[in-house]
Amino acid sequence: PQGPPVYVDLAYLPGSWSARTVDEEFFRRIRALCYVVSGDDHLKEGVLRPLLDALLAAKHHWGLDIQVTLIPTFDSLVMHEWYQETHERQQELGITVLGSNSTVAMQDETFPACKVEF
């Protein structure tokens, strides 16, 4: 149902098959300061570009000067291509893609990480 948008600090975008449900209408209704793109799997790669394009299309209609940070949790050729091809548009709309070269070590495991503060 139609209604006012919902504003949140952080929103996790669904992975796998559920990522197909994230479209322009999703980003018009769920407005976050940070969107986490998680789910490093082959299914996510197939729907990643339309998901990212939907964010750009919806953010154009927000009408507010809200900075948005996009936080991918995995390395992706699709993400790199989208970033390069739409970088100017991202800047116009106030969208920042956060990358991280930091690594966290816990017990016998290390993994990439980034810190987000509000």
pTM, full prediction: 0.82
- Quote the domain boundaries for residue 42: 6-112
Q: What is the b/e burial string over 33-70, where b = at least 16 CB atoms within 10 angstroms of the residue's CB? A: ebbbbebeeeebbebbeebbbbbbebbeeeeeeeebbb
- Quote the distance between the C-alpha of residue 110 and its chain's center: 23
10 Å Cβ neighbour count for 93?
19
Q: Is pLDDT of 98 > 70?
A: yes
Q: Is pLDDT of 39 > 70?
A: no
Please indicate, yes or no, if residue 1 is contained in any of the structural domains.
Answer: no
Please indicate, yes or no, if residue 96 is contained in any of the structural domains.
Answer: yes
pLDDT reported for residue 106: 85
Rounded to the nearest 10°, the torsion over CA 64, 67, 72, 77 is: 80
Please indicate, yes or no, if residue 48 is contained in any of the structural domains.
Answer: yes
Please indicate, yes or no, if residue 84 is contained in any of the structural domains.
Answer: yes
Q: Is pLDDT of 15 > 90?
A: no
Please indicate, yes or no, if residue 18 is contained in any of the structural domains.
Answer: yes
Please indicate, yes or no, if residue 51 is contained in any of the structural domains.
Answer: yes
Considering its fold, how many domains does the chain have in total?
A: 1
Please indicate, yes or no, if residue 117 is contained in any of the structural domains.
Answer: no
